Structure 1
Amino acid sequence: MRTPARSPVMALAAAATAVAATVTLSVDAGPAHAATCNGYVGLTFDDGPSNDHTPALLNALRQNGLRATMFNEGQYAAAYPSQVQAEINAGMWVGNHSYTHPHLTQLSQSQIDSEISRTQQAVASAGGGTPQLFRPPYGETNATVQAVEAKYGLRQIIWDIDSQDWNGASTDAIVQANARLTNGQIILMHEWPANTLAAIPRIAQVLASKGLCAGRISPQTGRAVAP
């Protein structure tokens, strides 16, 4: 038996009901999702930006609902300004990781100043804003380095957990390192290892299973907090 055709009015009414149901579901989903954040962690990626690695990393982070702090080297921020802008556009935060990645504790105060100040300028000129966070290369610091950081209003950020991705850690090991994070903690990763890129979807899953969300790093406390 042939189904009677619906009148235009009936079709409009059905469409309106479907839209209303969709809107209701969307509104209800918001608070429920927000309630899953029982704490925040700081995902950090050093040594960028680059045309070779930054686009894929940003794409993976965005696809998996993650935000991170990108500790950029000034020389690369100057060479790839569009990638600095891409980091900002993807919702990331940009920090200072020195200009040429030297062992700062072996340099004079004026050399340290040059490394930090040129990176501040390079990131700002590329559209990344003026960094508020500084990660010394290799995590090496001393009173002289800290005095220069203070001059530029920078908060020194080391890390609580080293993923060892720079040292050939497997994808499994990188995921397991992220699984050890607790509220407020920060993990060291890098933008160039292929295993780190491969770990991103699983990092998102393991954090979600613990009720942890990727947050920003507070310039006031140096800990991960809500974005």
Structure 2
Amino acid sequence: MKPERHEHPVLRVATYNIHKGVQGLGPARRLEIHNLGHAVEQLDADMVCLQEVRSVHRREERFFPHWPNIPQADFLAPEGYEAIYRTNAITRHGEHGNAMLSRWPVLTHQHRDISDHRFEQRGFLHTQVEVVDRVVHVLVVHLGLVPASRVRQVVSLLAHIEQDIPAHAPVLVAGDFNDWGTGLGRRMAQAGFREWREKPTPTYPSRLPLNQLDHVYARGLTPVHAMVPTGRIWQRMSDHLPLVAEFAWND
């Protein structure tokens, strides 16, 4: 028997830049992907939106004896979750991109390239997820380092939403916005997107969080809570902390 919406009143969504599963530089760098697997499971989210996820990396495979033998998105997916990955950047030794792990069925997925210049390869992942009796559009983004590029990328993102997603459909936009100010947040608000803002939830840098670079915005859903896990183990696994946000259905 199919569940009804009142049986799942809150949608829990996490976003996490995992720094490709590795921390540190050079010979002293350490593999964190196994710890991240436990961490993702502890988030207990309906959808986990990930950035800087490796599909393959031949150099790291040779360096780390315990490098997973499957793509990182599949490795990180808790039991029963579906993993969707799409490439943003192709590099000398491999590739990395965005991923979405879902405990609910994924109906469709697509990728859009929003690279703004030749020095940064950027994109977003658009999935449709069937949550109980509703289809929720989940977009996973990782914006650029250049402020003007981020503005143009958000314009492209919002244009895609306007053209490809029905106005009445619930939409979540989650990811690393790389924005140290409030300009992109205002643009999202002008397009009808909201996030939990009752108290600060800084996510970067993980060892001493100063700013919230990671966001989960929603349209057609009501933000009810957001939190950032704390503690030394979370500080070690990535240069970002995960953001976990909860949303209620509007009807």
TM-score range, shorter-chain basis?
0.3 to 0.5
More strand by share: 2
**More relative contact order in 1 or in 2 (CA 8 Å, sep 6+)?**
1
More helix by share: 1
TM-score of the superposition, structure 2-length normalised? 0.36
TM-score of the superposition, structure 1-length normalised? 0.38
